[in-house]
Every structure is written in structure tokens, then in C-alpha cells.
Amino acid sequence: MPRTADQNELVASLARRSERLAGIYDAGLCVLYQEDNHGRLPLVAHSMRELIEKCPTLTGRQPATQGDNMKNRFQPVKQAYLRLKGQGFTEASPLDAVEGAVREVMGKLDRFLEWMEENPPQLEKRTAQMLGDLSGPGPAVPIDIFNDIVARWLAADQYFKDVAHHQRNNVNDAEFVTHMTFIETFLLQRLQPRAIADQDAIDALISEAEHGQ
């Protein structure tokens, strides 16, 4: 099954802004249509995850810090707890004996919980800013619709991360395509608005006329 015309157009639109992002997306498409490759969806999900992560560069923003996620943020808490257990402390140990080790666990946990409270709103805010920048000038999208777009973008991002890291069993092709099509359609509409596409066609006609073709 060949890639669609819209997918080819998105590759071209991305290339005008970033050859790197166009290459990431194009590589995912190459794998997507390898129908005899039964492990293709996690590979495509990795490309989509990378594309989403680096989309801020299309508007001059920096991508979010890599590795700054819940799993990595929780590691210091887990390590402090394992050190506590490794010293032989149990629930029955005297409090004065475990005070220092418990204090370390509590400190790590406190910082983790602070990050948990601050990060989701910050992530949503950064995503909304980036998607707003991509929309460019023109009439503003109604706030309820825009909020839905942000939510779907974040949901697709998490979905592709889960699939790429094999954290979902029995990945559904239809669900995968739904998330992928949403990202593709949004980017294509923002990077290649119809008015620009029409202008490209007009420019091509003018060029042909000037060169007598």
C-alpha cells in the first residue's frame, strides 16, 4: 500500500522548515508500509514520538529536556528507599535508628511530588504555546476547540511513547492510525495552509508562462 498524497505533501512541507524532521517522519512512513514487518508499529511510533518531541523547533522553540519524565524523576526516590532496605531496616526498626535514611527518602519523595504537581500544567502550557505558534496569524481557534486539540496532541504523544517502548499489548492498527492521522492532519494544515498551496500553484503557472513552457 503506497503512502497517501497528504503524507507526501507533509514530508515536503516539513522539509521546507526542517530537513531533519522531514527525515524522521519519512523514515517512519517507509517502515509503516512494510506490511510484512510485523514489528513495524513500535518503530513507526518511535518516529512519531521524535517528530512530536522536536516540533517546537519549527517555531524557534527548544524541545523539552529529554529524559525529564515521571520514571526518571522517581528514580532518586526508589534508590533512597532501596538504600534504606539495604541497611536492614524494616517496619519494626526503632525510629531513631532509621531517622537519617527515612529523612532521605522523605526529601526525595517531597521533590518528586513537587515536580508531579508542576509538570503536567507546564507541559500542557508549553504544548499550547507551540501549537498556537504553528497556527500563525489569522482568526483565533475557539478556546474549547483549541483545548481539545492540545489534549489530543498530548494523548497522541503519550500513546506513541507507550507503543515505542512496548508498554501496550496488542496494539490496535485502527487506534494507531487515528493518532497518527490527527498529528499529520494538524501539521499539514498548519505548515501548508490551502492558501499557500494555491499560491504555489499560481507561482508555478507564472514560471511556466515566463519561460514559455
Q: Among the ranges 11-25, 47-61, 103-117, 180-194, which has the highest mean pLDDT value? A: 11-25
Q: Are 60 and 54 in contact (CB under 8 A)?
A: no
Helices (DSSP H) in the chain: which residue ranges? 5-17, 19-32, 40-54, 70-86, 95-135, 143-164, 173-191, 194-210
Query: Does residue 196 register a pLDDT over 60?
Result: no
Query: Does residue 87 register a pLDDT over 70?
Result: yes
Q: Are 185 and 8 in contact (CB under 8 A)?
A: no
Per-residue pLDDT band for 68 (boundaries 50, 70, 90) equals: low
Residues 45 and 158: their CA atoms lie apart, in Å, by 10
Q: Are 121 and 154 in contact (CB under 8 A)?
A: no
Cut 0.85: pTM above it: no
| The pLDDT value given to residue 126 | 82
Query: Does residue 184 register a pLDDT over 90?
Result: yes
Residues 122 and 149: their CA atoms lie apart, in Å, by 16
Residues 116 and 13: their CA atoms lie apart, in Å, by 36
| The pLDDT value given to residue 1 | 73
What dihedral angle (degrees, nearest 10) is formed by the CA atoms of 154, 155, 157, 158?
120
Other CB atoms within 10 Å distance of the CB of residue 51? 23
| The pLDDT value given to residue 128 | 84
Residues 98 and 87: their CA atoms lie apart, in Å, by 9
Q: Are 187 and 181 in contact (CB under 8 A)?
A: no
Burial annotation 140-171 (CB, 10 A radius, 16+ → b, else e): eeeeeeeeebbeebbebbebbbebbeeebeee
Q: Mean pLDDT over residues 86-108, rounded?
A: 71
| The pLDDT value given to residue 52 | 94
| The pLDDT value given to residue 175 | 95
* Residue ranges of domains in the chain: 5-210
* pLDDT tens per residue, range 114-147: 766 766 557 777 888 888 888 765 556 677 788 8
| The pLDDT value given to residue 67 | 54
Q: Mean pLDDT over residues 177-203, rounded?
A: 76
Residues 176 and 162: their CA atoms lie apart, in Å, by 11
| The pLDDT value given to residue 131 | 87
